[in-house]
Structure 1
């Protein structure tokens, strides 16, 4: 009986997606806490039990208020990413992500509108914010302007929060702080969130009131009247009814504008805190329950989706450093298809580091083509149609007609005749004309210099203006795009790959019983060295662009690139320190070893054999 072949490893997404669902659900549950507190505050506090009992009206109000936070969570689930945004200019960022920007404004506006409707439905009639004003007994029902003003201010508050969301890139999941849990994170954010929310509500009230009374009051009144007259029998009036008493209305908005801002910030923080957690479940890597954990992890490292691949590299970095038993299985599986497990994982890590060199060479050398493009087969010969006539003989061809001379050529010919013929009458005036031409050329040169200096001043003024800042590029932006990738930085993935290579290399001295991993050490050291040399060489030769400020010419230290260099040199130092005694036996020349020593010791090493 033929033996059954082992089942293929499960896809990595089968473990990542459930893990993210658990994190998302936990973040949503935690967001119920401020919703519950707002629901208790909005309720009637005349009962010691039912005013706060979750299974009563307080629970219903909590559910309704939670509807206002759902658009925000749908937005975050759609647009979250781990790396910083990288682009050549702010306008480039906006244009490439214009649909994401539109979704941000729509989500916050929908959230504010739902929250306003919920409050007006619950407590509007009690505080004079009902949709209609019954007036005196002998008067017809009139439309109330106060809820229109309240909803308008909430929409302005949503636009301000959306602008902050975009400018500060709230969609990015920051790295989790080591040792921080829910208690530490909440206690850290309480005071800043409350103070920021109060200040933001006051600013929106001032700006929103000016905008409302200057241009939007009649328009909103007409739209609201057109909507409400289909539900209520309203008195016909074309002018707003007024906002008195105004002070109480302002206090109501300041209170609920602050609460809504706190709710948004709390929801964003809970989402970041939970989605930024390490890829673990019950203290073990998420792929530990697979039928082939290492095969599943390799599938994740090869994934075409950026977020899956980033999580797989993060899990590999954790396994190589914390989980000894799992790390030993990586070295022990040498009979896997294609090549050993350790080799496949190391190759994926090296690919992330080699991509840095490819991006730099692509940006600096227009003729550079990656290796995968060079290996593509050239197209085969094109099959032409059969020849149906005899080729044309040279004796059968007719001479081509002489092209007609242009006006410029006619002028040149005439000038040549005047100069060469001394008897020509125009020859007498030639010296005078020649002197005049020289004087005109000098004046033109002065005009060009003056225009150049004028353009330089205009260019400087445009670059410093608010409009020009949208299109301004800089050395920092250019370096981040080239070294770390675009549209989002790949720093987290590269750092995880470096950590995994460093841990696997150092731990192989103990965990690799067969000693097979040592064959990969030379390749790892060369790849790290080449990446460091290319980054340093690129930063030394990076020139400021036409829109850069003068200070950019003196600033070559880009923080993100410097952090990556620190990671690369730390990884190279660890691997070199563990194997420096055996490198000559691992087929590395003495010149290469000296070059690595210079990099590890901090000396400026020229781009030598390994950098070419």
Structure 2
């Protein structure tokens, strides 16, 4: 009888319920915001019906939630990812991520949300607000109201611009935490509680308000300029086409003589834009804060609820989805640092078809760290495979004799290029007929005046006229420093992050930092908790890998040349610097813990010397930077 195939524990079954709970928390916050907006939009003719949920206020809140909040929240769920965009320049990032279906979905979601909000806001206004699409003048004659047309077009453009900004600033990214090894022992309950993390939304309230005001003001100024110049005629004709079958409107398509800008319309547009930006920003900030909550539930790791906790965790380290893999590595680092009982199960779980749990975890973490070394080695090399050699073709037998007496070894006469002929004609036309090799006096005077003008510009721009190329260099630097030129800059930060973290198309620094921290802590704690001694067989590999990756990463970061478009020349990359710091601290703790057992662990004196040099080199560089900063301050 064939054995029953046992389904392996999946980390997806562990992480998805946790993510759904965090999504629900964001949705509850938006429900409360929608209800508050519904009360704010009420006319307050009746005290009871102005806030009672079963009535106009409840209907208004439902429309706000489904029409305005739901599109943005569902977009965040579909668009969230871990890792930063690893591109050498902003223009390259736009080329890789701009022309995608996700960009279309983002722009559509924000535009739909903005248009629905404009309709709900207009529906809540009284009749005398003057924002109805059709108004009546001179008895019963109906006319189209351009103020309402502009109000709707303003929110359409505002949503369109917000969607583009969402993609440009990569607001779909969530930044995971790093469980760094503690240099001093600290109690595990010192971690922030879930309530403290929830209160971070209130801590972000000043930032939310500031960002909402800025976005509303910039959006209003942009639409106030774009609408009269490019969209006024189109929006007017489209509105007439929509409302003529319903109302008896004039047959003419002429625009009104005055722009639809009045004090009341401008004030209402700014106020409504601020409210819309406020709910968008609240959704974005709350979703990001709730989603990056640590992989714990009720003070325990998420995988503790699984029937096979260690198996689920190992499968999470092997999944293809980068977000799940990063969460699993984060949980492993937390287990290695804060949960002694769970650490012991990792050491003692040895009866597995794929090998002991420790061996699987160590192999996966070492592969993650070695991938950094592989990327550095392959940096600058062509990625396309070399073409396969063509199959050898047997020479065919000669069927006829070679021609005799032909000048087959003489070189053919060079052909005259068309551009060379044109150049000769132009040269002859601009020279004196009596002196074919000299410029005419008029051309000489023009060239001298132009040269002197360029030298004057150079002297004003650079303060020196000795180097003719310095003017071009200065103008290029100024162009690259402008807002339009910054997307063309290949900054040190972008290039180093792309080379170290990869381009898949995102690179998550916490994955590598948590891998180094987990290896370090599991190895150090094994001295007191590993009863079977499985970890000690891999300590040498851990030390050598940490040493090699740290040395190569430090050398590469110092030797990476400055690109000619990097006008600022700032040699700092916080994402990679965090990985370097964790690697160095992890190596220092492992060397300190196992230094006296180096010979028994088959670690040579050269291995220990290189490890200590890697730790000391980084700390010495950091100390020099601190001294320089104090001197500058």
TM bucket normalised to smaller = 0.7 to 0.9
**Structure 2: which 5+ residue stretches go unaligned?**
178-190, 417-437, 439-465, 621-633
Q: Relative to 1, partners in 2 of residues 1:577 and 1:230: Cα closer, same or farther, differing over 3 Å? A: farther
Q: Corresponding residue for 1:286? A: 302
Residue 462 of structure 1 deviates from its aligned partner by 4.5
Give the TM-score of the pair, scaled to structure 1.
0.82
Measure the CA separation in 2 of the matches of 1:245 and 1:537: 60
Q: Corresponding residue for 1:276? A: 292
SS of 1:133's partner is strand
Q: Relative to 1, partners in 2 of residues 1:291 and 1:380: Cα closer, same or farther, differing over 3 Å? A: farther
Q: Relative to 1, partners in 2 of residues 1:368 and 1:203: Cα closer, same or farther, differing over 3 Å? A: closer
Q: Corresponding residue for 2:241? A: 226
Q: Corresponding residue for 2:86? A: 86
Residue 310 of structure 1 deviates from its aligned partner by 1.1
Measure the CA separation in 1 of the matches of 2:384 and 2:217: 56
Q: Corresponding residue for 2:628? A: none
Measure the CA separation in 2 of the matches of 1:215 and 1:478: 39
Q: Relative to 1, partners in 2 of residues 1:25 and 1:184: Cα closer, same or farther, differing over 3 Å? A: closer
C-alpha contact (below 8 Å) 1:50/1:57 kept by paired residues: yes
SS of 1:463's partner is helix
Measure the CA separation in 1 of the matches of 2:619 and 2:44: 72
Match 1:581 to one of 589, 596, 610? 596
Residue 133 of structure 1 deviates from its aligned partner by 0.9
Residue 501 of structure 1 deviates from its aligned partner by 0.9
1:481 aligns with 2:498: yes
1:188 aligns with 2:203: yes
Measure the CA separation in 1 of the matches of 2:261 and 2:359: 75
Measure the CA separation in 1 of the matches of 2:400 and 2:167: 74
Measure the CA separation in 2 of the matches of 1:603 and 1:131: 67
C-alpha contact (below 8 Å) 1:142/1:234 kept by paired residues: yes
SS of 1:134's partner is strand
Residue 578 of structure 1 deviates from its aligned partner by 1.4
1:315 aligns with 2:331: yes
Counterparts of 1:83-162 in structure 2 under 5 Å?
83-98=83-98, 99=100, 100-123=102-125, 125-137=127-139, 139-162=140-163
Measure the CA separation in 2 of the matches of 1:117 and 1:91: 36
C-alpha contact (below 8 Å) 1:9/1:293 kept by paired residues: no
Residue 23 of structure 1 deviates from its aligned partner by 1.6
Q: Relative to 1, partners in 2 of residues 1:231 and 1:14: Cα closer, same or farther, differing over 3 Å? A: farther
C-alpha contact (below 8 Å) 1:133/1:141 kept by paired residues: yes
SS of 2:141's partner is coil
Q: Relative to 1, partners in 2 of residues 1:210 and 1:380: Cα closer, same or farther, differing over 3 Å? A: closer
Q: Corresponding residue for 1:8? A: 7
**Structure 1: which 5+ residue stretches go unaligned?**
411-435, 437-448, 606-612
C-alpha contact (below 8 Å) 1:198/1:254 kept by paired residues: no
Aligned length: 552
- Superimposed CA distance per residue, residues 508-550 of structure 1 (whole angstroms, 9 cap, x where no aligned partner): 112211111111111011111101111111123211223232x
For the aligned residue pairs, the C-alpha RMSD in angstroms reads 3.4
- Superimposed CA distance per residue, residues 384-440 of structure 1 (whole angstroms, 9 cap, x where no aligned partner): 99x9xx974899888897244133599xxxxxxxxxxxxxxxxxxxxxxxxx9xxxx
SS of 2:48's partner is coil
Measure the CA separation in 1 of the matches of 2:260 and 2:389: 83
Q: Relative to 1, partners in 2 of residues 1:471 and 1:394: Cα closer, same or farther, differing over 3 Å? A: same
Q: Relative to 1, partners in 2 of residues 1:96 and 1:379: Cα closer, same or farther, differing over 3 Å? A: closer
C-alpha contact (below 8 Å) 2:9/2:307 kept by paired residues: yes
Measure the CA separation in 1 of the matches of 2:307 and 2:127: 61
Q: Corresponding residue for 1:601? A: 616
Residue 227 of structure 1 deviates from its aligned partner by 1.4
Match 2:480 to one of 458, 463, 479? 463
More deviation, 186-195/477-486: 186-195
Q: Corresponding residue for 1:520? A: 538
Residue 288 of structure 1 deviates from its aligned partner by 2.2
